[in-house]
Amino acid sequence: MSWFQPRSMLFWVYCLAVIAGPLLFLLQAAGQVWFAGTPALAALPITALTLLVIARIVFALDPFRARRHLVAPMAMGAIWGATVWTGLAMWANDHLSRAITNGIGDRFATSWSAAITAPTDEEYIKAIGIVVVALMFRNRLSRPMHGLLLGAAVGLGAQIAEDCLYSTQIALSSPQDPVVDVLLVAVLRLITALTSHWAMSALAGVGIVLAIIRTDRSWGWRLGVFALFYALAFSMHFLFDAPRPPGPALLSTYLPILIDLVIFAIAYSWVLATERRWFRGLIALPAARALGPEAGLEPLLTYRSRRKARLELRRHTRWAMSRKFAKRYERSLVDRVADLDLAPQQQTPIPGGFGPGPGGVVHGVGAPFGW
């Protein structure tokens, strides 16, 4: 299914939203961006590094490379996060903060406004993007990992946009030495990015995608799963922005981040377990025997067993095989097993150079070592 879907009403809603988002942002912050000037640009290399680091982490969380078939939805999700979220979140945060101040008072709003407004409207705006893209690409989504990847893409787009916005704000509020302050904040946001928007939206994405695709379950079950994962995302965001408790500065600063990491790790462990169960089912299929025996393919289930199998394979070839070549062979095999879940015409052919001959792997040599 192509990203260009002119017959889909959702596609045009998406296009309208990604155009309106930046326009709404400029209506609110054009002056801020203009007067921030060159100092705000000092953070761009660190922001780019943040993008690369988090993208690498997301890829590492996808051991069976489900992302190969989600390039278009993930890209469109990231665009939603970087455009629609940016314009709407600024507007929503401002209005909700005013409502809290007017309703409860300045003292409460000063401490708790960010912890209330950010999870309430920011997670909601990102969730809408996940829903829109998930419905557009519903035929490609079948597992919790798909929701995690789509949600992470939406959140990462929002995270990078927010980093750029923070750079302009710091540049304006630091007249003495704005470049230094912009760089310091950019580094701090890189450190705290481990549990930022991408991780929160990843969990929300799991719940949203499961609610959409699990039509074999009751609406009560689907809404319950969505509510659980959305609540986890909301809780992570609340802890991230909540006032820090009294105590040692280092502990009070990073304790909420550690708690968020624990929440994410627990949820991700379940997603990973479903992925391994799915992959194990593919290994057991009769069609997988063309790739190797079931016991021989099982080392592909974990990173640890993969490393061991690569080492044994290189040792068997008397170290003639490079690490890069062994990894490439492993990825190809993972892809071929995963593609057993697809129609034959969509399956990935094994790359050249892996058969018998100079530089190749002798047929069947990998089976005793996991391949």
- Gap between the Cα atoms of 325 and 201, Å rounded: 35
Position of tokens 């008072």?
Answer: 105
Which pLDDT tens digit goes with each residue over 262-319? Answer: 999 999 999 999 999 999 999 999 988 888 888 888 999 999 999 998 898 888 887 8
Top-ranked range on mean pLDDT: pick from 15-24, 169-178, 343-352: 15-24
Q: 298-307, pLDDT tens digit by residue?
A: 999 999 999 9
For the stretch 203-247, pLDDT in tens is 999 999 999 999 999 999 999 999 999 999 999 999 998 887 776
Structure tokens at 74: 């993930």
- The arithmetic mean of pLDDT across residues 326-353, rounded, is 74
In this model, does residue 254 exceed pLDDT 70? Answer: yes
Task: Evaluate whether 151 touches 206 at the Cβ level (below 8 Å).
Answer: yes
Question: Is the predicted pLDDT of residue 50 greater than 80, yes or no?
Answer: yes
> Which pairs from 168-173 meet CB under 8 Å and 24+ separation?
168/29, 168/32, 168/33, 168/36, 168/40, 169/32, 169/36, 170/40, 171/36, 171/37, 171/39, 171/40, 172/32, 172/35, 172/36
Of all residues in the chain, what percent carry a pLDDT higher than 70? 90
pTM: 0.89
Residue 312 makes CB contacts below 8 A (sequence gap 6+) with 368, 369, 370
Cα separation of 329 and 359, whole Å?
Answer: 12
